[in-house]
Copies of this chain bind each other. A is one copy, B any other.
């Protein structure tokens, strides 16, 4: 058979980009921290060039701050910024959901049901969080996917990354979590019924509640 040269066929840049993106969203770096490039180089066992390329991309996406001649730093976490991100999510995801319900076809309905089911069945045990997060992101992506605007989807994805960075920092809130999980199912129902107005209202509420949870991460000292 022959040993495959690479686990996944991608460049070192792309791989380290994905890894760092995850680690940044997961809060493995402390907010405001200065990035020591040579330290990362050893920590992730990667060359300088692909690392620098990844850092540049992350900065362009807003997950890092690039200071001319002074390297990179992890963005600080401010309540005002979370407010901004949440408000933008409400506006853009509401807009996208409305269009998706208008434009989505039967295939979309199937995929939406599948994504919702995967999310529902996913375990939230501590060691399975990554998996749950993946299904959660997929669900929200599928929900708005057929909105017809590649740029809208791009912006929403960017906001999700930013929002998740705050949410994952926050302490768990099991009772709110249950409500949020239930809302995922309700969103599917409203989408299938093509009830635009109600769906948008529910999405607004969903994001607002998530925001309340995430807010605890900024307010609490941790």
Q: Which residue from B57, B91, B159 sits with its C-beta under 8 Å from A59?
A: B57
Give 12 A-B contacts (CB < 8 Å), ordered by A residue.
A10-B69, A11-B68, A13-B56, A14-B68, A53-B56, A54-B56, A57-B57, A57-B60, A84-B148, A84-B150, A151-B162, A155-B155
Chain B hits for A62, CB < 8 A:
154
Size of the A side of the interface (Cβ < 8 Å), in residues, is: 33
Q: Does A46 contact B (CB under 8 A)?
A: no
Interface string of A60-86 (1 = CB under 8 A from B): 111000001100000000000100110
* Other-chain contact of A149, B69, B87, B152 (Cβ < 8 Å): B87
| Contact mask for chain A residues 137-168; partner B; CB cutoff 8 A; 1 contact, 0 none | 00000000000111110110001001000000
Q: Give A86 Cβ to nearest chain B Cβ, in Å.
A: 10
B residues less than 8 Å from A31 (CB atoms): none
10 nearest A-B pairs in the assembled complex, by CB-CB distance: A60-B60, A57-B60, A53-B56, A56-B56, A88-B151, A56-B57, A84-B149, A155-B155, A10-B68, A84-B151
